[in-house]
Chains A and B, each alone.
Chain A
């Protein structure tokens, strides 16, 4: 207990260093090019009643096993070409386990406003927040709506190794602007991610999981000031290779796609976000001897408001249902077919670099279909039908 409190205090002290000018974003010259250095980090504490959450033992004293850090370098190489890279490390209960990863690293050539190219490991543009889901400091909430942005499944579509074609196209007759991204690449999950951990409960040890991902995103900055609407599509062709009871085990997707519709309205200090996500996955399991058809429907509505210069508040309703033919979870009205989450948050910005958040979650259900949804059998021998949670987080960025 002392160790974890000490860890929290160390993280808070590190955040407090952001009072000092030396922790501002740094710049230096490298071969006559300006290189910027930026970083971020956060430390959280989670306490629940009912079930243990996010692979942590949260129902006793709570858990501080919720930490992440990131550091990036970037530079414009020419007027149209830039390069950058970010490393990221985290621990979330049994996930992450402090295995650092290359978060993104790519070259970006912007030929025209309407045509640009990125190549390397690139954050994936799907919905409002896929590419920024780790960047806690950008938003009021400590956790994004988990129905659409499960923190334990961040590996699934946060980045791809491949390329993007993107651009912004002004529309005629003052009809706003369209931003588009078309992308393709390889997904490669960390073996310390939520899906690999989830499979362990079912006796499967994955050595690798990933494959081809491709998709597109179109978002319309409408003529209504502050209103953004969009749609994303993602298709993937994945293979998992590992062992099961000591013998080789292969699983493959037969069909796997996601459609995501989103809208955002920002007016002065008010922001309202809403998304609907539908994922269908037909998965061949156990060396071809079994098949699972999983159907996921998820949506949320979130609102946040900046009350004062340094204080904001928000709340959301997050709705997740998932079925699985192999696991015989077919009725989403039952607790194992859904998680409904009501959340309320307060955020205080100590200064422009350091923030503190307090968030309450009131969840119904525990969803045990083809994908985990934050509530794992390894931490819960029996599941309670409801979970109430408190999340406290402090974070810094420079």
Chain B
């Protein structure tokens, strides 16, 4: 009985350790100037696919991370594209004059720093990242 319980715990541990990172491990942050406190996942998708430039009446601009686990999780959960497809999508807009290439930075700390100092900036970081100086948006 004891061995069965231990086995179940070990199995659960292995499952969690091998699971892909989920959206719960990513949080969406915004500059304090952004009036919205909760947004829909559709709105997040529209902002990061450059189809929408306002949230809750505030003008917004997206900032992305160049790579990493949080970046991959965000793309999978909110944008439905991998990084190559997303870059191709952005370039199709940039080279037909329909958009500018969004800002991208190296890591969570740079995202937080950029979002904190830039009016209207919206970004994403890993759940454990410090969010001093920015607000976290609830995504419904």
Contacts and interface: CB of A to CB of B under 8 A. Distances in A.
Interface of A: 25, 34, 36, 38, 40, 70, 72, 74-76, 79-80, 82, 84-86, 104-106, 108, 110, 113, 122-123, 131-132, 135, 137-139, 168, 170, 225-226, 266, 268-269, 306, 309, 352, 397
A86 B51 CA distance: 22
B95 A38 contact: yes
A289 to B, nearest CB: 41
A28 to B, nearest CB: 13
Given A79-B53, A104-B97, 11 more contacts: A40-B95, A72-B94, A74-B100, A82-B97, A106-B97, A113-B51, A135-B91, A137-B91, A168-B51, A268-B82, A352-B87
A263 to B, nearest CB: 17
B95 A72 contact: yes
A104 B53 CA distance: 23
A106 B98 CA distance: 10
B96 A123 contact: yes
Contacts of B37: none
A36 B95 contact: no
22 contacts: A25-B101, A36-B94, A36-B100, A40-B95, A70-B95, A72-B97, A80-B53, A82-B100, A86-B95, A105-B97, A106-B97, A108-B97, A108-B98, A113-B52, A123-B97, A132-B92, A132-B95, A138-B88, A138-B92, A225-B80, A226-B80, A397-B91
Contacts of A397: 91, 95
B84 interface: yes
Nearest to B59: A79
B14 interface: no
B62 to A, nearest CB: 13
B35 interface: no
B53 A110 contact: yes
B87 A104 contact: no
Contacts of A352: 87
Nearest to A177: B51
A115 to B, nearest CB: 13
Interface in B30-69: 42, 46, 51-53, 59
B1 interface: no
Nearest to B95: A135
Interface in B85-140: 85, 87-88, 91-92, 94-101
Contacts of B94: 36, 38, 72, 74
A36 B91 contact: no
B101 A38 contact: yes
Contacts of A122: 97
B100 A75 contact: yes
Nearest to A271: B85
Given A113-B51, A268-B82, A76 B92 contact: no
A269 B82 CA distance: 8
A266 B85 CA distance: 9
Contacts of A82: 97, 99-100
A83 to B, nearest CB: 8
6 nearest A-B residue pairs (beta carbon): A84-B97, A79-B59, A123-B96, A36-B100, A138-B88, A131-B96
B35 to A, nearest CB: 15
Contacts of B98: 108
A86 B101 contact: no
Contacts of B99: 82
A161 to B, nearest CB: 14
